[in-house]
Amino acid sequence: MTITRLISALALCLGATAGVAQASDTHVTCVQQQLARLGLDPGAADGVTRVQTRRAVAEFVQRLEGDAVHAVFDALPEFSERAAVGWCREIGSYAPQAAEVMPSAEPPLILTKDSISPEIRGYIERSYEEARQTFAQDFGIATASKPVLIVAFGRDDLEDLLRVSVPGIDDLSPAAAEETADDMCVGVERVMGSAYRNRIALCMPSGDLDRITSYEIWQGRYQYVMLHEYMHHVQREMSYDKVPDDGFGRRPMGPSWMVEGSAYLAQIKSREGPTREVSVPMLVSLRARDAEDPVRLDFIRKKQSVRSDAEYSASNLAVALLALRFGEDHMVAFWRATGEEDDWHAAFEAVYDMRLEDFEELFEDMRHDLTKLVKFARAEAPYGPDVLRVGSRGPNRLGHGARVRG
């Protein structure tokens, strides 16, 4: 099958890493180019984490001024191929001229069937860009990486597109492509999305193709799915899960109820008016849905997946409750801390000032009583500021920047 590759800026981002299998090398190249723009000498921008690049990173950190700036870079993991995406993102946020060379600064690679019209491919690109802008405005997140976007209007098309080899990222196995196509497209009457380390895939009902005659129609029907999957893209970047497994087991992004609940907070940003923000009325609605078939959070965490409607309902309610009490900024801080700590139990404790397991137990006590949920959300007795407090603390691991400074 012939594949249309719309707006391929991939060569610009991967040209220096041709032949390298791991996508994170793109971000090593990014850091090398950024440091060169800032007057440092990291060596050739070839995606190799050599001694010269590490020295340039150390020199960059030593030149920084201000406690707030140092705090950002002190918390980053030691510069490496895996951690390079975080360094690329934060250096880009620090210096505008450095942001210009981030992979995310270029248009995405979009894979569709040749029969998809240029107008619809334009809607896909606009949808992705709108998601990026929403995350920047609502969550303060400007990503460094960019996913390959795959959009199909049928099961076989999706499987074929998932099997397309893209330079710089790992291929999906035929079995994984087949399984994903079955899960997302067979017997499903609405748009479905799935996010991999470096891919976002959408499967549309085949009948929808003729109905998409404007971006407004696309936006109304599908933007919430793009936002949901873009959050998974962000989670993978912030938890440094953009590279293949290191051989010591899968690095989960976080408890699965937190993964999906956070994606729910992202998807509601597609709405208009007050319903795009977490509120007590929203808590009431989510609690009613959860009450139909409550599933324990610790069961979802140990299962390491969210599949059923009941599991999604529990996840959405739990994360909305945390967001209403602590603010959405704490949700973003959790994903940052997950990468900095390399331990999402420690990250949860550091950000929310309570043990993950303790919150899960408390949630079981509250979920059946709306009054308790609202009191927790408002930090009212018996759920005041000291509830389950374990003592605030920063990241356990000393980041690269802090080590460089002594």
pLDDT(396) > 90: no
Amino acid in the structure at residue 116: I
Q: State residue 386's pLDDT score.
A: 79
Sorted by where each begins, the domain ranges of the chain are 8-104, 107-222, 256-404
| Residues 316, 261 contacting (CB under 8 angstroms) | yes
* Of 10-19, 86-95, 124-133, 269-278, the least confident: 10-19
Q: State residue 242's pLDDT score.
A: 85
Residue at token pair 């076989």: 156
Q: Which residues contact 137 (CB under 8 A, 6 or more apart)?
A: none
Q: How far apart are CA 125 and CA 111, in angstroms?
A: 11
Q: Which two tokens stand for residue 328?
A: 């959405």
Give the residue ranges of DSSP H helices in 111-252: 118-134, 155-162, 174-185, 215-238
Q: State residue 387's pLDDT score.
A: 74
Q: State residue 22's pLDDT score.
A: 38
Q: State residue 12's pLDDT score.
A: 27
3-state class percentages of the chain: helix first, strand second, coil last, to nearest 5: 60, 5, 35
Task: Please report which confidence band the pLDDT of residue 322 belongs to, taking 50, 70 and 90 as the band edges.
Answer: very high
pLDDT(66) > 50: yes
pLDDT(229) > 50: yes
| Residues 235, 334 contacting (CB under 8 angstroms) | no
Q: How far apart are CA 215 and CA 85, in angstroms?
A: 32
Task: Please report which confidence band the pLDDT of residue 8 belongs to, taking 50, 70 and 90 as the band edges.
Answer: very low
Q: How far apart are CA 215 and CA 208, in angstroms?
A: 13
If you ran DSSP here, which 8-state letter would residue 182 be given? Answer: H
Task: Please report which confidence band the pLDDT of residue 188 belongs to, taking 50, 70 and 90 as the band edges.
Answer: confident
pLDDT(181) > 80: yes
Task: Please report which confidence band the pLDDT of residue 5 belongs to, taking 50, 70 and 90 as the band edges.
Answer: very low
Q: State residue 25's pLDDT score.
A: 80
For all residues of the chain together, what is the average pLDDT? 88
Q: State residue 191's pLDDT score.
A: 94
Q: Which two tokens stand for residue 241?
A: 């899960």
Q: Model confidence over 252-280: pLDDT tens digits?
A: 678 999 999 999 999 999 999 999 999 99
| Burial zone of 117 (CB within 10 Å; 0-12 exposed, 13-18 middle, 19+ buried) | exposed
pTM: 0.89
pLDDT(17) > 50: no
| Residues 300, 257 contacting (CB under 8 angstroms) | yes
Please tell me whether residue 215 adopts helix, strand or coil conformation: helix
CA nearest neighbour of 53 among 19, 76, 87: 87
List the beta bridge partners of residue 169.
none
Residue at token pair 């700590």: 341
Q: Model confidence over 341-392: pLDDT tens digits?
A: 889 999 999 999 999 999 999 999 999 999 999 999 999 999 988 776 654 4
Task: Please report which confidence band the pLDDT of residue 319 belongs to, taking 50, 70 and 90 as the band edges.
Answer: very high
Give the residue ranges of DSSP H helices in 38-170: 51-63, 67-74, 84-94, 96-99, 118-134, 155-162
Q: Which two tokens stand for residue 288?
A: 């009613």
Task: Please report which confidence band the pLDDT of residue 249 belongs to, taking 50, 70 and 90 as the band edges.
Answer: low
Task: Please report which confidence band the pLDDT of residue 3 belongs to, taking 50, 70 and 90 as the band edges.
Answer: very low
- Residue 311, H or E segment: helix 309-326
Please tell me whether residue 214 adopts helix, strand or coil conformation: coil
Higher pLDDT, 46 or 387: 46
Q: State residue 283's pLDDT score.
A: 96
